[in-house]
């Protein structure tokens, strides 16, 4: 998803498209990896010195709810990245050192048999490791 699409979606859903929200999205796009709330705050605090953790977290949670961001947890901490915007089913390889992601086109759920007494409505599959740049 690009920034223009994200801002359009915010407006379409009745939310304000503030400069601060746009800066959060721009920063996440530049990172091209799963990024923590603390990293977002550290980047924005020079322009917004009174910015709180709660404000950033609420915005990131809203963006995730709207499908603008994808969320995962690394080292017990939620992290966010701009949604791939892929119009096809896919999963990610995630570097445990830097948070960089790589798309996996194959889905392991294809080989999973149906489970009696359980209606599967969705899934999330991530593979963790260390990328070549961090080794």
CB 32 within 8 Å of CB 94: no
Residues near 125 by beta carbon (within 8 Å), at least 6 away in sequence: 91, 104, 107, 108, 109
84 labeled binding residue: no
β-pair partners for 94: 101, 128
Q: In what order do the strands lie in the sheet with 101-104?
A: 101-104, 91-95, 126-129
β-pair partners for 127: 93
19 labeled binding residue: no
123 labeled binding residue: yes
91 labeled binding residue: no
Residues annotated as binding site? 89, 95, 98, 123, 131, 134
Residues annotated as binding site for Zn(2+)? 95, 98, 131, 134
Residues annotated as binding site for Fe cation? 89, 123
């Amino acid at each position: 998803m690009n920034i223009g699409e994200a801002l359009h979606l915010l407006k379409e859903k009745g939310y304000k498209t503030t400069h601060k929200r746009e800066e959060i999205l721009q920063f996440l796009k530049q990172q091209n990896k799963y990024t923590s709330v603390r990293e977002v705050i550290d980047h924005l605090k020079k322009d917004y010195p009174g910015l709180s953790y709660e404000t950033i977290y609420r915005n990131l949670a809203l963006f995730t709810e709207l499908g603008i961001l994808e969320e995962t947890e690394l080292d017990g901490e939620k992290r966010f990245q701009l949604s791939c915007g892929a119009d096809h089913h896919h999963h990610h390889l995630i570097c445990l050192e830097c948070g960089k992601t790589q798309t996996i086109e194959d889905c392991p759920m294809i080989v999973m048999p149906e489970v009696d007494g359980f209606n599967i409505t969705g899934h999330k599959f991530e593979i963790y490791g260390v990328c070549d740049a961090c080794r």
